[in-house]
A and B are shown apart, each in its own frame.
Chain A
Amino acid sequence: MPKGQTQFAPQNGIMHGFANPARFLRIATWLTPLLLVSGLVLGMGALGWAWFNYPPDRLMGDSVKILPLHVATAWLGMGGWMSIAIASLVELVWRHPLAAIAARASAVPGAVFTFVCLATGSIWGRPTWGTWWVWDGRLTSMLVLLFLYFGYIALSGALAREGASTRIAAIFGLVGAINIPIINRSVVWWNSLHQPPSITMGNSAIDPAFLYPLLICTLGFSLLFGGVVLARMRTILAEVQAEARLRRKAMQAAEGF
């Protein structure tokens, strides 16, 4: 986007900034279906492979089949908030008009991934640990992430409805990012029922038979996340443009009289 276009008068809200987000839309038009289809194929393929071909684990047996779904959604749940935080930083510093839209668009898919992670973890915990839920560091901090998503979705939605500045949501997105390293370190700092990390810098304690479907599933879910974010960005842009057009028409009609 040319430099001059990123500046806009605050009283006009975000309407002015992307009166012409043409280049983004041109790319998103073909990139969205590409990401959605390839993400679905890779993600569902990896999950199907795990379901039918995972060998039983030495201790937990067939319940290890849930591993790729649980771990990939956990990573994407945290990755979703990281993309909110990065987009918020870009919005606050560079005032890029698409950044606020990207942050808002990342919230719902991120929350869905976090919810799936918590649900599959609970289902996995019953046969493995002998309990659906415990309040240890990892589980609690992940639940906090889900509540942060709910708060962010409510806040950004309310700001958009009232036409208020999206910078409040951006600050919330940045402050909430403090939870991500806490989730990551929770099993290292504190004794927890949840296992310590299986995959650390360059090393994996997960057998290749279990690992590769997990990595492919993560790639697929990442593409899927990108596709959903682009689709939601286009929707938000269309809504904003429709509203701007309505306002312009109303102004013209008022001037006509």
Chain B
Amino acid sequence: MTTGIKPKHQRLVLLVIALVALLGAGLLAAWALRNQANYFYLPQEIVADAPAPDEAVRLGGMVETGSIRTDADGITVHFIVGDGAARVPVRFTGIVPALFVEDSGVVAEGSMGTDGTFIASNLLAKHDENYMPSELEGMSREEVREQVEATVL
């Protein structure tokens, strides 16, 4: 080696450059996918760019508090999915998942009806990142938030 750099160091530098380039390429590709790899659309995206009436899409958001209404047949539910920016009414006929409750996440599979109601053929409940025992359920949201935030690693 005439340059005086040890081969070990040369290998290290080359490998680090290759890894940085690879990492950059991989993360760039993943970042570019961010609009294509979404599992569902948010209500504001559905409202801004409404899908065709027979196009199969997934709508995800929070079930609005007090919006769940069950029809007389007992299996058709109406509710509103919102994301803070837009609200989409949803109709679903069937058995809802156990975690389908108000003020909680939901992913509805189906298509947009002509009257602006989303007709869901399947409902998936989306659990959020919070885990707490049911004893804490009686606490107010503020108390629960404090309790959860007190848990610092």
Question: Chain A interface (Cβ within 8 Å of chain B)?
Answer: 55-61, 64, 67, 89, 92-95, 127-131, 134-137, 174-175, 178, 181-182, 185, 189-193, 195-199, 202-211
Contacts and interface: CB of A to CB of B under 8 A. Distances in A.
Contacts of B97: 128-130
Contacts of A189: 30-31, 34, 37
Given A57-B131, A185-B30, A93 B149 contact: no
Given A58-B133, A58-B134, A58-B136, A195 B153 contact: no
B37 A190 contact: yes
Nearest to B35: A190
A195 B39 contact: no
A203 B150 CA distance: 9
B152 interface: yes
Contacts of B152: 202-204
B133 A209 contact: yes
Contacts of B129: 195-198, 205
Contact of B39 (A64, A137, A175, A199): A137
Given A129-B97, A185-B30, A56 B134 contact: yes
Interface in B1-55: 8, 11-12, 15, 19, 22-23, 26-27, 30-31, 33-34, 37-42
A248 B107 CA distance: 65
Given A129-B125, A182-B30, A207 B147 contact: yes
Please indicate which of the listed interface residues A127, A131, A175 has the most CB atoms of chain B within 10 Å of its own CB.
A131
Given A174-B19, A193-B107, A207-B133, A199 B153 contact: yes
B78 interface: no
The 8 closest A-B pairs by CB, nearest first: A130-B97, A55-B133, A178-B26, A136-B39, A198-B129, A191-B38, A207-B132, A206-B131
B99 A128 contact: yes
A193 B126 contact: yes
A58 to B, nearest CB: 5
Interface size, B (range) = 35 or more
A218 to B, nearest CB: 12
Interface in B33-83: 33-34, 37-42, 60
Contacts of B38: 190-192
Contacts of B132: 57-58, 207, 210
A153 B86 CA distance: 49
Contacts of B126: 129, 193, 195
A93 B39 contact: no
Contacts of A196: 128-129
B112 interface: no
B130 interface: yes
A55 B42 contact: no
Contacts of A94: 8
11 contacts: A55-B135, A58-B133, A58-B137, A59-B104, A93-B11, A130-B123, A134-B39, A182-B27, A190-B37, A195-B126, A203-B153
B98 interface: yes
A174 B26 CA distance: 13
Given A137-B37, A210-B133, 6 more contacts: A58-B136, A61-B98, A61-B134, A128-B125, A207-B131, A209-B133
B39 A206 contact: no
A142 B135 CA distance: 34
Contacts of A191: 38-42, 60
B127 A59 contact: yes
Nearest to B31: A189
A134 B128 CA distance: 17
Contact of B151 (A134, A137, A182, A211): A211
